A and B are shown apart, each in its own frame.
Chain A
Amino acid sequence: MGGLWVVAEPGPDHGLARISTEIATLARDLGARGEHEVVGIVVAAEPAEPAAELARYLPRVLAIQDPAADERAWAAVAAAHLAALAEGDSPDLVLTGAGPDGRDVAGALSALRGLGVLTNATSVAWDGDESGAGGPSVEMSVFGGKLLTSSGFTGGRGIVTVRPNVVTAAAAAAPGKVEQHASRATPLPAVRVVDRVSEAGAAAPIEEAKIIVAGGRGVGGPDGFDLVGALAQVLGGAVGATRAAVDSGWIPYSQQIGQTGKIVKPELYLALGISGAIQHKVGMQTAGTIVAVNRDADAPIAEFADLLVVGDLFEVGNALLEQLRSRSG
C-alpha cells in the first residue's frame, strides 16, 4: 500500500477529531503533488461514523473495528493495529495530530516500527522537486518560536505530528470509499478506561475560535473573567487564559493557552492582563492580530502585539465593551 497515512483520532461523541480533517486535507494535497496514494485509517469500536466523515476528505479509508479502542486508552490500541498494517506494507509518511492522542500514537508506532518522528509541524511539503522522491520537508517552530527549522527523514520515511490550524479543512470534490479492514494486531499492554468524566463548566473549545479574548493574572480573580467573557460574547469569540489564571482556579484548564495548554491561531487575540511569557507566547504567537491591554508598557507582550493599550484592563475593557455594544446595538 505504501503512500501517505492519515491516522484518524477520536473526536467528541464517537466522531472524528477536527485535527484529523485538517490533516486529511493536508495529506490529500501532498498526495496529489507527489502522486502518492493517500489512505485514512480509523481504529474505533464503532468506526462507521468517523470513517464516513474521514471519507469526505480522502479517496480511501480503512476502517478497523476493535472494541478495545473504546474500553482501553485509544493510542496504544491504534498503534498496535497501525504497526501490524505497516508490517505488510510500510507507509512513506504517517500523519497524526500534535495533540495528546496524536503524540501518543506517533510515539508508540515509532517504537514498534523503528520509524523516525518529526513533531509539531507547522508545514509539510515535498523536499526539492515536488515529486515526493526526496521525502517530506517538515517545518517546525522550536525554542518557543525563536527559530524555524526544516527537517526530513534520512531513510525517506517516517511519522509527522502536525499542529492544529496549519491548514483549513476542506472536503474533497467527491467522497471516497470506506473499506473494512480485518486486523490482527499484537496488542500493547492494556490500560483500562474506568470512566470518562465531563467537567461542568467546560466552555467553548478555543482551538476552533476565530476570536479569542484571554485573561491573565491581571484580571485579579474569577469575577475578572466576567469582563473577559462579556467581551468574548460581543465579539463572538471564546475565552482563553494563561496558566497563572488557571492555576489560581479562576477558569478551567481546558481554556489554557500555551506550551502546556492549547495552541491556537485565531484571527484576533485580545489579551487582558497577560504579560506574554514565552510559554504563553508559543500558544498564540501565530494569531492574525494581537491586541493587548496591560498597565505595564514593558511587559514582554509589547514585543509581539500589534497594538498595546497601556492602562487598566477594567477601565479599558469596560470602555471597549460599551463601544462595541453601541456599535452592534
Chain B
Amino acid sequence: MRIVVLVKPVPDPASAGERLGPDGRLDRAAAPAVVNGNDEYALEAALKLSAAAGDGSEVTLLSMAPASAPETLRKALAMGATRGVLVTDPALAGSDALSTSRVLAAALRTLEFDLVLAGVDTSDGVGGTVAAAVAAHLRLPYLSYAARIEPDEAAGTVRVRRISPTGYDLLEAPMPALISCTQALGEPRYPSLKGIMGARSKEIANRSLADLGLDPATVGGAVAATALRETRMPPPRAATEVVRGAPADGAARIAELLATRRLI
C-alpha cells in the first residue's frame, strides 16, 4: 500500500505568538511551526494502514511550505513516514487555497499512490476546502470526514465511515482515492527515540514550480484569487468575575447572573 499524506506546517496554536506580518502574510518567525493537528491524525492512520498492509508499503509526506519546513517535517518522519516531498518556491508565498490545491495536485501527479490522506482542516486558517479541491483537480474519488478507513486491496476499493450529524455514512470507492481525516481515527503516536534518530537520515526531496512543470503565472501569491484587506483584534470580552468560597455561594452567584441576564 502506497500512501501519501498531505501535511501542512502551521504556527503552533498553543503558542501566543501567531500573527500576520506587515505584508499581511503569516509571520513565520513569530510562532514555532508544528505539523497541523488534523494532519497528524491522517499520518497516524496512514502508518497503521501501511503496517497492516505489510511489505512494500510506504508513507510519503507531501507538503507545500517555505524552505524552513524540513525542521517541522522531521517530527512526522520520526513518527514513521518513509520520506518527504517538499514543494517550495519563492513564488508560492501568499498562495490562496485554490492555488495551494493546484500545486498539491500537480505534485501528486508525479507520485504513485493507492491513497492520499489529508486533514479535514488546518488550525491557522480553518479552511477545510483544500482536500476536496485537490481531489476534484485529479478526478480522484473523495471520501471526507473519515472516522474509520478500511481498504480492501484485493478488491481495489476502500470503505470510509464519514461522520454525519446523527452517526456515520458508510462510503465506498475504488482506489486510488483521497480521504480527509478526523481525530476519530485515533491519537497520533509519539515518535520513539529510534524514530527520531532514524528521521535524520530520511530523504526530504525538494520540488520547485519548474520541477512540477507549473508556470508561476498560474499559481502562487501573484495570482491569488483572494486578498486580505484589513485585520483587527477581536473586541475584548469584559473582565472575568472570579468567585471563591462555599459551593452554595458560588452556585448562588451563577443563578443570580443567569437571572439578571434573563437566561432563566
Contacts and interface: CB of A to CB of B under 8 A. Distances in A.
Interface of A: 12, 73, 75-76, 79, 98, 100, 103-112, 114-120, 127, 137, 140-155, 158, 161, 188-199, 202, 205, 211, 235, 243, 247, 253-254, 259-260, 267-268, 270, 278-279, 282, 288-291, 293, 297, 302-312, 315-320, 322-324, 327-328
Contacts of A297: 242, 244
Contacts, number: 306
Interface string B115-137: 00000110111111111111111
A104 B183 CA distance: 18
B181 to A, nearest CB: 10
B114 interface: no
B203 to A, nearest CB: 30
A193 B255 contact: no
30 contacts: A100-B162, A103-B128, A103-B132, A104-B142, A109-B136, A114-B98, A117-B96, A117-B127, A119-B127, A120-B128, A140-B125, A143-B11, A148-B232, A149-B20, A149-B228, A189-B142, A191-B177, A259-B37, A260-B37, A279-B123, A282-B126, A290-B237, A293-B250, A297-B242, A307-B241, A309-B243, A309-B250, A318-B247, A319-B252, A323-B255
A110 B251 CA distance: 51
A324 B227 contact: no
Contacts of A308: 240-243
| Interface residues on chain B, size class | 35 or more
A158 B257 contact: no
A195 B170 contact: yes
A310 B163 CA distance: 36
B229 A127 contact: yes
A202 B167 CA distance: 7
A interface, over-half SS: mixed
A106 B129 contact: yes
B197 interface: no
A202 B245 CA distance: 37
B66 interface: no
Given A151-B226, A152-B229, 7 more contacts: A188-B142, A191-B173, A297-B242, A303-B240, A316-B247, A319-B248, A328-B264
Interface string B1-40: 0000000000101101011100000000000000001100
A143 B164 CA distance: 26
Contact of A110 (B129, B143, B261): B129
Contacts of A107: 97, 101, 128-133, 135-136
B166 A198 contact: yes
Contacts of A76: 136, 142
B223 to A, nearest CB: 8
Interface centre among A76, A310, A328 (most CB of B within 10 A): A76
Nearest to A277: B14
A243 B183 contact: yes
3 shortest interchain CB distances as A-B pairs: A116-B225, A107-B132, A107-B129
B263 A268 contact: yes
B106 interface: no
Contacts of B124: 142-143
A106 B132 contact: yes
B139 interface: yes
Given A104-B144, A149-B231, A289 B263 contact: yes
A153 to B, nearest CB: 6
A319 B245 CA distance: 13
Contacts of B244: 297, 309-311
B166 A12 contact: yes
B228 A153 contact: no
B141 A151 contact: no
Contacts of B147: 253
B67 interface: no
A147 B133 contact: no
B230 interface: yes
Given A243-B183, A304-B237, A291 B251 contact: no
Contacts of B253: 307, 309
B238 A306 contact: yes
Contact of B167 (A114, A198, A278): A198
B107 to A, nearest CB: 15
B148 to A, nearest CB: 11
Contact of A143 (B13, B242, B258): B13
B234 interface: yes
A143 B137 CA distance: 28
Contacts of A199: 166-168
A194 B172 contact: yes
Contacts of A306: 237-238, 240-241, 257
Nearest to B125: A142
A276 to B, nearest CB: 11
A288 B258 CA distance: 11
A315 B252 CA distance: 12
Given A12-B165, A75-B144, A108-B135, A120 B229 contact: no
Contacts of A120: 125-128
